[in-house]
């Protein structure tokens, strides 16, 4: 019998306790929130146990290791306790950057949101009669004035708009849609999944690359509730392709006594053809070609808050408004205020460029070049020979799943000669984070998405990155 007592040599035993680590971090960083330190201590220790188990850690329990561990916890606690979302500066040139919140609001919209939060409001009160009023009455009137539609409704995003339209108009029945339009958008969110949750049957027609009017005609039967047209949000098709003309599709739907619904994804109520945007983005034009109901996002080409906008037939929109789902999908007072103010700017052509997205889309290369010159003058003293900066012609995507093949020509300041991955990462850690494009081992500061007021803060972020 072996009487020698075996000692457990598991290196995880030398890890400090959660309480000890919390006390150490709280002492060194008293301004950090207690809850954030607790969460960070548990998470960091759990991660470190995993690293030790896999042999990826050199932790020995000595004082320097404990100091490094406390620092790691403090950094994690700072991230947990930071306000979210934070203000960042977009120097990527992508006007509708999904990861950066898509459309920045106009100052008038921001002011409207602030007013809506100051106290009580007449959100659902008719001040003239003193009785309950419509939450969306003002929005509907302005949407109709801009679009020429018979009726309008607003929900909390465009996916909700599609869900509401399908559930109202086709519950328990079949919806015809081209295979080439069964798209997946961000976050693995697929059109067929939305249709399933809406309680409708999917009738796929055509092939991935070619769908003809005859395919729609052959698919319509007694169970068909509507035809659905879906914008290809994040990709384009090229080569041997075909799709039905929207006007002919509308005529077919009306001949068979069913509606045509189109999910535009990104739609605008302003004619931005001068900025190079295709006709399909102009929502009023789609209605004029016979589409019965269209829906699109409020925070994409429209330049407002996140919302789903439905325009079209009074009979169909009214049916959606009566659907119990409409209550679950309704917008709050902040969205109403921001969208109302954005539509006001659209109704006044002289003020429409106050909407940042509209101004960003309309800006010409000739207008952007002077801004690039000012940015170069601002960044040059910061570099002080550490890197080389120059102005180059640039192209940027619109972003947000809007018109993926469309490019916006402009200018960027390109900085070379630096440790690009490190500097770009450090700029994200700056007091006001700055996001840039990284290309050809250089930092690209595209001025399309920068305002003059942003230029000094971009320089500050670069200086911060170079100093750390």
Do 232 and 265 fall within a single domain? Answer: yes
Whether 6 is in a domain gets the answer: no
Residue 411 has pLDDT above 80, yes or no: yes
**Domain ends where: 354, 379, 400?**
354
In a domain, 3, yes or no: no
Together in a domain, 342 and 372: no
Reading the block at residue 37, the tokens are 């330190």
Question: Positive or negative CA dihedral for 230, 234, 240, 246?
Answer: positive
Tens of pLDDT, residue by residue over 246-276, are 999 999 999 999 999 999 999 999 999 888 8
- What's the pTM value of the predicted model, to 2 decimals? 0.89
Domain identity same for 274 and 292 = yes
CA distance 289 to 268: 16
**Residue 84 buriedness (CB in 10 A; 0-12 / 13-18 / 19+):** exposed
In a domain, 200, yes or no: yes
Domain assignment present for 18: yes
Position 62 scores a pLDDT of 65
Whether 1 maps to a domain, the answer reads no
294 and 316 housed in the same domain: yes
Whats the size of the chain, residue-wise? 468
Domain end residue (candidates: 333, 354, 375): 354
Q: What is the pLDDT of residues 152-197, one digit of tens each?
A: 999 999 999 999 999 999 999 999 999 988 887 766 678 888 899 9
φ, ψ of residue 137 to 5 degrees: the values are -55, -50
What is the Cα–Cα distance from 329 to 48, expressed in whole angstroms? Answer: 43
Per-residue model confidence (pLDDT) at position 182: 86
389 and 253 in one domain?
Answer: no
Q: Domain range holding 424?
A: 89-99+361-467
| Tens digit of each residue's pLDDT (9 = 90 or more) over 416-442 | 999 999 999 999 999 999 999 999 999
Number of domains in the chain: 3
């Amino acid at each position: 019998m072996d009487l020698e007592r075996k000692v457990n040599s598991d290196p995880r035993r030398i890890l400090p306790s959660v309480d000890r680590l919390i006390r150490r971090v709280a002492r060194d960083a008293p301004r950090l929130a207690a809850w954030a330190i607790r969460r960070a201590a548990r998470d960091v220790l759990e991660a470190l146990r995993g690293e030790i188990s896999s042999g990826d850690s050199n932790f020995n329990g000595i004082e320097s290791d404990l100091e490094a561990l406390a620092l790691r916890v403090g950094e994690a606690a700072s991230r947990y306790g930071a306000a979210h979302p934070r203000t960042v500066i977009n120097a990527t040139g992508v006007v509708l950057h999904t990861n950066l919140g898509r459309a920045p609001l106009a100052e008038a919209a921001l002011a409207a949101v602030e007013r809506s939060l100051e106290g009580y409001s007449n959100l659902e009160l008719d001040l003239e009669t003193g009785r309950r009023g419509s939450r969306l009455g003002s929005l509907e009137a302005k949407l109709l004035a801009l679009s020429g539609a018979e009726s309008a409704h607003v929900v909390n995003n465009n996916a909700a708009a599609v869900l509401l339209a399908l559930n109202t108009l086709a519950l328990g029945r079949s919806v015809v849609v081209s295979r080439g339009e069964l798209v997946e958008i961000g976050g693995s969110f697929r059109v067929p999944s939305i249709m399933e949750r809406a309680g409708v049957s999917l009738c796929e027609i055509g092939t991935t690359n070619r769908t003809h009017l005859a395919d729609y005609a052959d698919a319509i039967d007694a169970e068909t509730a509507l035809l659905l047209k879906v914008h290809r949000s994040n990709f384009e098709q090229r080569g041997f392709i075909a799709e039905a003309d929207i006007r002919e599709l509308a005529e077919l739907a009306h001949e068979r006594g069913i509606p045509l619904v189109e999910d535009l994804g990104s739609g605008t109520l302003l004619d931005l053809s001068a900025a190079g945007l295709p006709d399909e983005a102009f929502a009023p034009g789609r209605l004029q070609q016979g589409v019965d109901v269209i829906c699109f996002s409020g925070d994409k080409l429209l330049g407002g808050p996140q919302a789903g906008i439905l325009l079209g037939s009074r009979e169909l929109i009214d049916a959606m408004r009566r659907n119990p789902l409409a209550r679950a999908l309704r917008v709050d007072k902040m969205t109403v205020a921001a969208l109302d103010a954005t539509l006001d700017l659209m109704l006044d052509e002289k003020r429409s460029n106050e909407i940042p997205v509209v101004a960003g889309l309309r800006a010409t290369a000739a207008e952007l070049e002077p801004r690039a010159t000012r940015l170069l003058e601002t960044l040059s003293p910061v570099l002080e020979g550490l890197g080389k900066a120059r102005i180059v012609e640039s192209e940027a995507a619109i972003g947000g799943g809007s018109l993926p093949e469309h490019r916006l020509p402009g200018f960027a300041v390109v900085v070379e000669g630096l440790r690009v991955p490190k500097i770009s990462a450090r700029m994200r850690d700056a007091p006001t984070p700055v996001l840039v494009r990284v290309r050809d081992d250089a930092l690209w500061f595209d001025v399309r998405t920068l305002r003059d007021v942003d230029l000094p803060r971009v320089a500050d972020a670069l200086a911060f990155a170079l100093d750390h």
